[in-house]
Chains A and B, each alone.
Chain A
Amino acid sequence: MNQIVTDEFQGATKYVLDQELAAIVNISMRLEMPLLLKGEPGTGKTMLAYAIAESLGMPLIVLNVKSSMKLVEALYQYDTLTRLNDSRFGDSKRDVSNIDEYITMGKIGQAFVADQRTVLLIDEIDKADTDFQDDMLDVLDQMQFDIIETDQTIKATHRPVIIITSNAKKDLSDPFLGRCNFHHIAFPDPKMMRKIIHVHFPDLDEKLADNAIKAFFSMRDIDGIEKKPATRELINWIRALHADPDFRVKDLINGKLPFLGVLFKKSPDYERAQNLTTRRRLF
């Protein structure tokens, strides 16, 4: 199934998009500003970038931010070791006196030099320290950076569509926020969830879907749960229910919930959910 490539983002095959978010994505693209997405895990922050790339037919470049990461790693790498090796043995095709041959682009660099417009996803920016964030914004603002070793300036040939995600409870720094557009993705409501489930399981039994979603939301409401199950868990859970030949939809209605381990990944959460569901069945 091929999507028609337009310059407007309208959703993708496996992504249910609400109109509001679509408008924000489109305006960010038009203004050429990075879009910062926040929201609890499982609201599809990362998936959005994949969906944009798919729908607009652009290549996606993912920069997974790590806590120890330095900005320069995201821009380019200078492979000293290979160069040293080449200078010693001289048996490679590379020209040792040309530093350029030993410079490889990092993820941001790749997005800049790509010969078409790309989607650059900077995932979980909050993991890195504030210096990284501020430095990176300078690069994204100017759409260029310098390679110190060769005294070269790399300019973005096409401004990439930049999506930044953050899980942080606390806000990012002010200069950072100033340069981004912002959207907070709320957790999908049951109706939205129904659509999402439909996208993933187009021929799922209506009754099963309804009851699974109902059970899922009631389990999200259990007090004192450390890690609430998110969309990903629900999809896996339905997959598990689907795969089990002994499973009947009636069980869900009767409050019998199998495979709780798919939904709850922390043992205290699991026990709590288990206790609650058994109790509900008794009374």
Chain B
Amino acid sequence: MFVKFFYTLKDVGIPVSPTAFLTLQKALYNGMVAGLDDFYTCARAILIKSERYFDLYDQVFAHYFEGVPLPEDAGFEIDAIARGLLEEWLKNPRKVADALGIDEEKLNKMSPDELIEYFKERLKDQDGRHDGGGKWIGTGGYSPVGHSGYHPGGMRVGGTSGNKSAVKVANERRYKDYSTAGPLTQANIGEALKRLRNLVPAGPKDKINVDETIRETMRNAGEIELVFDRALKDRLKVILAIDNGGWSMDPHIDIVQTLFDYARAQFKEVKTYFFHNTIYDYVWEDPARYKKPKKIVDFARNDPETRLIIVGDASMAPYELMAHDGSIHISERSGRPSIQQLKFLAETFAHSVWLNPVPASMWGYTHTIMTINAIFPMFELSLDGLEKAVTKLMAKDTTTAA
């Protein structure tokens, strides 16, 4: 029963599982559902596992039971186009920026998620369907985005012939999971985290070591001798600074974020900051690098035992690193070149590493990588590199703890 309902849910993109569907059948079979209202709540509780999908569920429910047509331009279609745009953007950022008539720099500063949001905003701006006209995305017009139009710098969002709308075509395209392109894949994250867990022993000696206690008691001729160990506390302060500017970093941001999201429970404090290419006077707490700046000099107040992990490709024009006015943002030119700020950070935090998504074999070809490598111990952003970085981060701690 309600097989079609189940598949409609699946079709609109709600992750529903057959097991849950069987559970629903069980509920129906056992007569626990009396009437449509009951079915609505029960099916939702059993099938839908996140409040994010409640709205979609409502739409499908209305469609299935009351014949309300599913909205043609539903959110998920816009999603699909936005993703199509993003994919295009990853391939050729300038073209998309030109086509939308916005500054490439501005888009550069956005994370993939923000880009998607931004594209969606642009898409929602158009009123209904649009075939022709000069402003927004549609078919056959001279709008900058869409396809088969004749905007000079125009860009097609998927589609080959002039007969299909961008909506349809973008919908057919499957969103490429660009985040798996990095050397560290989702599947590897669990493994990598086990290594991160090694980061943090220590704490007061308050846990009894049974084996040692028995051994010592034996040695003591049966007189109980208790041996205590440090409890394994996986707690450590970590500052994570991520380069999210420049599209060379885009494929890696997701993977790094996921990694540290998982790790959050492990550490007492994970602070994430963002920067573009290299660090000048500020880093930002928000990915857009706009709302919440944090002065680098303020880091001096942090606990020097904090572990600083910087993730970035460290690839830029040498003057960006060396010159007094290297920053592209006027407000950031305090006269201290980036390289000095980096040295300051390295001095402030004795335990710091730089993780680089660029393969180590390529480092020798980029001047700035070598320069930064001399300031921070640099490791490849891979399982192997991560392990080495973790060892490095903990190396001094064991000597101070002993």
Contact = CB atoms under 8 A, between A and B. Distances in A.
Interface string A163-175: 0000000110010
Contact of A27 (B45, B217, B226): B45
Interface in A172-230: 174, 177-178, 180-184
Which of A30, A38, A180, A182 gathers most chain B CB within 10 Å? A182
Interface in B27-63: 27, 30, 32-33, 38, 41-42, 45-46, 48-51, 54
Contacts of B41: 20, 23-24, 27
A30 B265 contact: no
Contact of B32 (A27, A68, A88): A27
A128 interface: yes
Interface stretch (A50-58, A78-86, A272-280): A78-86
A127 B15 CA distance: 24
B50 A182 contact: yes
Interface of B is mostly: helix
Contacts of A183: 45
A88 B214 CA distance: 11
A140 interface: no
A30 B29 CA distance: 12
Interface in B205-262: 208, 210, 213-214, 217, 222-224, 226, 233-234, 261-262
Contact of B27 (A30, A36, A171, A174): A30
A84 B45 contact: no
A251 interface: no
Contacts of A178: 17, 19-20, 49
Contacts of A80: 208, 210
B26 interface: yes
A38 B51 CA distance: 8
A10 interface: no
Contacts of A128: 265
Contact of A31 (B19, B32, B50): B32
A3 interface: no
B338 interface: no
A118 interface: no
A129 interface: yes
Contacts of A88: 217, 222-224
A130 B224 CA distance: 38
B265 A129 contact: yes
A129 B266 contact: yes
B23 interface: yes
A31 B217 contact: no
Nearest to B214: A84
A28 B20 CA distance: 13
Contacts of A129: 265-266
Interface residues of B, number: 35
Contacts of B26: 31
B224 A184 contact: no
Interface in A22-36: 23-24, 26-28, 30-31, 33, 35-36
Contacts of B49: 36, 171, 177-178, 180, 182
A27 B28 CA distance: 10
Contact of B42 (A24, A67, A68, A170): A24
Interface string A9-25: 00000000000100110
Which of A23, A88, A180, A183 gathers most chain B CB within 10 Å? A23
Nearest to B213: A84
Contacts of B32: 26-27, 30-31
Contacts of B224: 84-85, 88
A27 B224 CA distance: 55
Contacts of A84: 210, 213-214, 217, 224
Contact of B23 (A26, A33, A170, A171): A33
Nearest to B197: A129
Contacts of A68: 233-234
Contact of A30 (B20, B30, B213): B30
A44 to B, nearest CB: 16
A69 to B, nearest CB: 11
Interface string B1-34: 0000000000000010101100100110010110
A108 B17 CA distance: 27
Contacts of B222: 88
Interface in B309-333: none
A39 B277 CA distance: 39
Contacts of B30: 30
A129 B197 CA distance: 12
A23 B36 CA distance: 12
A180 B50 CA distance: 11
A181 B214 CA distance: 47
Interface string B178-218: 00000000000000000000000000000010100110010
A31 B27 contact: yes
A26 B41 CA distance: 11
A173 to B, nearest CB: 11
B45 A127 contact: no
Contacts of B213: 84
Contacts of A81: 208, 226
7 contacts: A27-B46, A31-B46, A80-B208, A84-B213, A88-B217, A127-B265, A128-B265
By Cβ-Cβ distance, the 4 closest A-B pairs, closest first, are: A184-B51, A177-B49, A181-B45, A24-B45
Interface of A: 20, 23-24, 26-28, 30-31, 33, 35-36, 38, 67-68, 80-81, 84-85, 88, 127-130, 170-171, 174, 177-178, 180-184
Given A27-B27, A33-B23, A177-B49, 7 more contacts: A31-B23, A80-B210, A88-B222, A180-B49, A181-B46, A182-B48, A184-B51
